[in-house]
Amino acid sequence: MIPQINPSDLHAWFAQAQHGSGQPIVLDVRENWELQAASVKAQGFELLAIPMGDVPARLAEIAQGRPVACLCHHGARSQRVADFLAQNGFTALANIAGGIDAWSAQLDTSVPHY
């Protein structure tokens, strides 16, 4: 079962999941037009944007030994990507519950809702 992490709890999850495995990753699986509408700022993590449909072809770009938290608009697409990553050997995974919409409400109100 992949943990559902509220945006406000993300840094605590990263600290717990890290265990010296390198800088954590927020994998934003939204489409490019969505990234232009609203995006998060990388603070204490690497922000990697790969649209959900491109993840299988670009899997090698995601470092397996690092904690990965998946992000989308509301959490459904990112959950599917997290499930896919788990099936491909990734172990330190989480889904950001509520997606960027919750991120805007809980962490950074400057991130626009769309």
Confidence of residue 20 (pLDDT cuts 50, 70, 90): low
Say if residue 58's pLDDT is above 80. yes
Mean pLDDT of the chain: 94
Fold for 4-106, please state it. Answer: Oxidized Rhodanese; domain 1 (3.40.250)
Return the pLDDT at 85.
98
Say if residue 17's pLDDT is above 90. no
Return the pLDDT at 22.
82
Domains of the chain by residue range: 4-106
pTM of the model: 0.95
Q: Tell me how far apart the alpha carbons of residues 103 and 73 are, in angstroms, rounded to a whole number.
A: 9
3-state helix, strand, coil in the chain (%, to 5): 40, 15, 45
Q: For the residues 26-55, what does the mean pLDDT come to?
A: 96
Return the pLDDT at 19.
62
Query: Which residue type occupies 3?
Result: P
